[in-house]
Amino acid sequence: MTTSQVPTTRRTRRDIANRGSTSMSKKVLEKITSQVAQDETQAGGTSGGFLGIGSRADFSARPDADVELAGNIASLKVTVGLPYPLPLRRATDQLRQRIAERVTDLTGVQVRQVDITIAWLKPKALTSGRRQLL
């Protein structure tokens, strides 16, 4: 038998509506949200401690995120730390917009709202080149 004599079977295309669906876990959305908040902005989280006791401000830690998911629509709550001095209203508006855009782009889930809580502010280090006595 040559290759031209081999019978071929064609797959029939299914309707798009019958192809199934993809579901996303709430925990996955929380991790993506906190990672976007850390990567795309100047926001930080807290690290160390046990049950919130003894934790410290850390810009290398991911901010905390909580997600309420209803079908394909999400409401996000993000707790961040920010450097200070900084125009806080503008910083939170930019953070809110960036998180909503990136989470929607990465997951396909529509973000209805993003609530931001600023848990701590950390002053920028003085760079005068002189030692300071504490």
b (16+ CB within 10 A) / e for 94-107: ebbebbbebbeeeb
| Alpha carbons 109 and 111: distance in angstroms, whole number | 6
Q: Which residues contact 62 (CB under 8 A, 6 or more apart)?
A: 34, 35, 37, 38, 45
Per-residue model confidence as pLDDT tens digits over 42-96: 787 776 666 656 566 666 788 889 999 998 899 999 999 888 888 989 999 999 9
Contact call for residues 67 and 46 (beta carbons, < 8 A): no
CATH T-level assignment (fold) for domain 42-123: Alpha-Beta Plaits (3.30.70)
Between residues 117 and 56, which one has the greater pLDDT? 117
Q: Which of 12-21, 27-36, 68-77 has the lowest mean pLDDT?
A: 12-21
Predicted structure pTM score: 0.70
Residue 81 has a CB neighbour count (10 Å cut-off) of: 21
Which amino acid belongs to residue 73?
Answer: I
